[in-house]
Amino acid sequence: MAFNTLDNLNDITGKRVLVRVDLNVPMDNGKVTDTTRIERVLPTIRELSEKGSKVVLLAHFGRPKGERVASMSLAPVAPSVSRLLGKAVGFADDCIGPVASDAISAMSNGDVLLLENTRYHKGEEKNDPAFAEALAANGDLYVNDAFSAAHRAHGSTEGIAKLLPAYAGRTMQVELEALSSALGEPVRPVLAVVGGAKVSSKIDLLENLVSKVDMLVIGGGMANTFLAAKGVNVGKSLCEHDLADTANRIMSAANAANCEIVLPADAVVAREFKAGAENETVSLDAIPADGMILDVGAASIQTVASKIDTAKTLVWNGPLGAFEIEPFDTATVAAAKHAAANTKAGKLNSVAGGGDTVAALNHAGAADDFSYVSTAGGAFLEWLEGKELPGVKALEA
């Protein structure tokens, strides 16, 4: 898709720029405990401020559902933004109305102001046109730098973009370019690695990917459902036996699309789910009736590594095993490090995302060497599922 970026902005001195950011950060006792999301939007804030605009930040925090909930105020976040930005960041106790407009009127060129939680108003999540107009009244331009909220058609993500000249911020731009390089216009062959606990939560994702990629590695608990559908006795492993027809349908669709599905060739099994549990690696025809598959073995790891070596583009979502507890993190760590090494060597474009995925790649110490790791969660998954994201669609030039 073609969209406007900050490169399309010329003289914005004195312009009021409404910037949608994701400041839904973890807090403890009124202090921000993880500043990752703040750090990601700093380049956009800094660039707009240095160009002399009045930077007005729009964000949500938690789920107040249209009520003023004190514990979900953005007020405690402003000091962290200020510290990381290296300049003062003001705060206004509302995002629309006189409180917001008066605070914006008092701004000087280059100033940065954070407005209160957009979700304090019911019109935000309802994408009420009147609320969007009230937001837009305080700006001359709109910049969306919150890909993580782009799958929501809210007042501050979609409604406002129809009322003001709209642009993608630097973080949004990088994300969209990374996603386009992974599935939009990828260099082939394309490999997808999809893991996690359940097939039921990723049916749409799998059905979309088999039509887009050349190879699909399925791991984690969801692989057990596919193995069972093929007649493998998976013992007491996590398995959605009632989804055998779904698994077979996905495998048939993959075959028709000439997409190779790669399932585990062996299994690491244990009788109990705990760190350091006694375990053994067995072939698929030797899984004990009282055993649980908690990871894949050396043969499977070697196969995944060979597929990574074949690929030019990698899309990764979900771990290959129960990576949270050792030693069942072995396959996930090995595959992640292999992908990271190929990326670092310039052989692979690797894009990853989704909650467990970020944690798994960080656990493996591989995240920094991937081409792009999305922290967007739900928006990243909906993009993988092939769904249109309203907040992105609204930015089309």
Is 37 an annotated catalytic residue?
yes
290 and 141 in a single domain? The answer is: no
Is 377 an annotated catalytic residue?
no
Query: What is the Cα–Cα distance from 29 to 326, expressed in whole angstroms?
Result: 32
Residue 394, in any domain of the structure? no
The pLDDT, as a whole number, for residue 104 is 98
Residue that finishes a domain, picked among 115, 147, 172: 172
Residue that finishes a domain, picked among 128, 150, 172: 172
Residue 178, in any domain of the structure? no
The pLDDT, as a whole number, for residue 1 is 65
Q: Could you tell me the residue range of the domain that residue 236 belongs to?
A: 186-384
Residue that finishes a domain, picked among 149, 172, 195: 172
For residues 130 and 123, is the Cβ–Cβ distance under 8 A? yes
297 and 158 in a single domain? The answer is: no
Nearest residue to 89 (alpha-carbon basis) of 56, 53, 60, 47: 56
197, two tokens: 């606990």
State phi, psi for 184 to the nearest 5 degrees: -70, -60
Domain count, the chain: 2
258 and 153 in a single domain? The answer is: no
128 and 277 in a single domain? The answer is: no
Is 249 an annotated catalytic residue?
no
Write out the chain's pLDDT in tens, 397 residues. Answer: 689 999 999 899 999 999 999 999 999 988 999 998 999 999 999 999 999 999 999 999 999 999 999 999 999 999 999 999 999 999 999 999 999 999 999 999 999 999 999 999 999 999 999 999 999 999 999 999 999 999 999 999 999 999 999 999 999 999 999 999 999 999 999 999 999 899 999 999 999 999 999 999 999 999 999 999 999 999 999 999 999 999 999 999 999 999 999 999 999 999 999 999 999 999 999 999 999 999 999 999 999 999 999 999 999 999 999 999 999 999 999 999 999 999 999 999 999 998 789 999 999 999 999 999 998 888 999 999 999 999 999 999 8
233 and 116 in a single domain? The answer is: no
Query: What is the Cα–Cα distance from 17 to 302, expressed in whole angstroms?
Result: 51
pTM as predicted: 0.90
Q: Which of 62, 66, 97, 355 is catalytic?
A: 355
Q: Which of 198, 236, 271, 344 is catalytic?
A: 198
Residue 397, in any domain of the structure? no
277 and 129 in a single domain? The answer is: no
HSE value, Cβ hemisphere, 13 Å, CA-based, for 62: 17
Please, which residues have CB within 8 angstroms of residue 149's CB and are 6 or more apart in sequence? 20, 22, 60, 156, 157, 379, 391
Residue 392, in any domain of the structure? no
Q: Which of 37, 40, 119, 152 is catalytic?
A: 37
95 and 150 in a single domain? The answer is: yes
Residue 160, in any domain of the structure? yes
CA distances for 79 relative to 63, 84, 111, 231, 387, angstroms: 22, 9, 14, 58, 36
The pLDDT, as a whole number, for residue 355 is 72
71 and 196 in a single domain? The answer is: no
320 and 257 in a single domain? The answer is: yes
Nearest residue to 57 (alpha-carbon basis) of 119, 139, 163: 139
Q: Which of 378, 386, 387, 393 is catalytic?
A: 378
Residue 393, in any domain of the structure? no
For residues 180 and 197, is the Cβ–Cβ distance under 8 A? no
Query: What is the Cα–Cα distance from 187 to 138, expressed in whole angstroms?
Result: 43
Amino acid at 147: F
Query: What is the Cα–Cα distance from 214 to 212, expressed in whole angstroms?
Result: 7
Indicate left, alpha or beta for 219 from its phi (over 0: left) and psi (-120 to 50: alpha). beta
Residue 1, in any domain of the structure? no
359 and 333 in a single domain? The answer is: yes
Is 355 an annotated catalytic residue?
yes
116 and 236 in a single domain? The answer is: no
377 and 260 in a single domain? The answer is: yes
Question: What is the CATH number for 100?
Answer: 3.40.50.1260
Query: Residue 312 burial (CB < 10 Å; 0-12/13-18/19+)?
Result: middle
